[in-house]
Structure 1
């Protein structure tokens, strides 16, 4: 039987692919689970290199060697057929942006939607981080977005000393206690608080009363924007 020319095609639709670049294994299960729940038809490719963050922290900046590896991962994502790649680490966000023109796919930052919302919610923005190399890029991004929109902004940067070491030592409770204490100390000084690292989002259920001060994290909004880009 000859099929009708108006019959719908039975050819399968190509699978859309989102590549996620991680610098810590902590973010892999959380973002994979979020993607599976919100977009089960999207294929997720997780690219994990935990030496990236340790090398950036040791040097205090993104080195040429780190940039070379980032370039490799961008190309790997493109070769795998990804429709977009998102970095899940703010410490290398700007470096990825700088390399974006070298590939033919959107290069996204997980913290960009969060930073845009923070700059729109108030003039006084508090940024909390446990890693020094994440603090400055996140704060700089918020300031840059505010300038682009012509909004005044004052960013208070707060590094939670000892929290990262506690987590590395397996002391998750100690990490959380230090971060929550630092957050409480910022509430009277700012209009909105940003958790600079995606891995800090797990603290949201434990916040308690913040006196009406919004506390933002990046995984939900960042992933939603990445999925929409496909």
Structure 2
């Protein structure tokens, strides 16, 4: 079985390879890295890259992908909507994380470092709350200055700023780290609140789709 992963940064490749090796040995991963998709989505809106995403997904399916996980929260909703068109499951890597946040309680804080992620991530938590029949209050937090550190290659400074933002949250039952690049900040934070990230649960969902009966 082959799972394709659509990324908008190469930094995610070793993260998902490590998770595969630890939890899903034998699963073949194909990484599709397209940084330009995020840049355009931030400038023009996620729908502006829908045709490009559909073409990339179709090419991945033609190349043998049994399912696809989009790891970028900004464009994952657009990617998920292409599932019927490309003929295989296309999953939002952040959806399982959102479902867990809703299950954790009625107040959820979504933390992001790019503004284009806040809308889709907040809407996803609200969507999962509606699906679960729960009333959930969602608050969005943008970490100022963090993305500039990420773009400059200052990973330590980036994660430290995110961890500080996490520790500043006191009025929530769950904290959502909206982007995969934020995941390691959970280990730096000192909060006792649940801090949720998407890489492990998103990969689990993709692996399950690949193993589902009827998958080629």
Matched residue SS, 2:158 = helix
Which residue, 20, 25, 44 being the options, matches 2:29?
Answer: 44
Question: In the aligned structure 2, how far is the partner of 1:159 from the partner of 1:86?
Answer: 24
Question: In the aligned structure 2, how far is the partner of 1:173 from the partner of 1:220?
Answer: 21
Which residue, 35, 44, 53 being the options, matches 1:70?
Answer: 53
- Displacement over 6 Å in runs of 4+: none
User: Normalized against structure 1, the TM-score is what?
Assistant: 0.88
Question: In the aligned structure 1, how far is the partner of 2:24 from the partner of 2:124?
Answer: 28
Give 1 or 2 for the bigger CA radius of gyration: 1
Which residue, 191, 196, 207 being the options, matches 1:216?
Answer: 196
Question: In the aligned structure 2, how far is the partner of 1:153 from the partner of 1:32?
Answer: 34
Matched residue SS, 1:229 = helix
Task: Report the equivalent of 2:147.
Answer: 164
Which residue, 126, 130, 146 being the options, matches 2:113?
Answer: 130
RMSD: 1.2
User: Normalized against structure 2, the TM-score is what?
Assistant: 0.93
Question: In the aligned structure 2, how far is the partner of 1:147 from the partner of 1:40?
Answer: 35
Task: Report which structure shows greater RCO (CA 8 Å, sep ≥6).
Answer: 2
Matched residue SS, 2:87 = coil
Deviates more, 1:29-38 or 1:169-178: 169-178
Q: Which runs of 5 or more structure 2 residues have no equivalent in the other structure?
A: 211-216
Task: Report the equivalent of 1:20.
Answer: 5
Task: Report the equivalent of 2:187.
Answer: 205
Shift of 1:124: 0.2
Task: Report the equivalent of 2:41.
Answer: 56
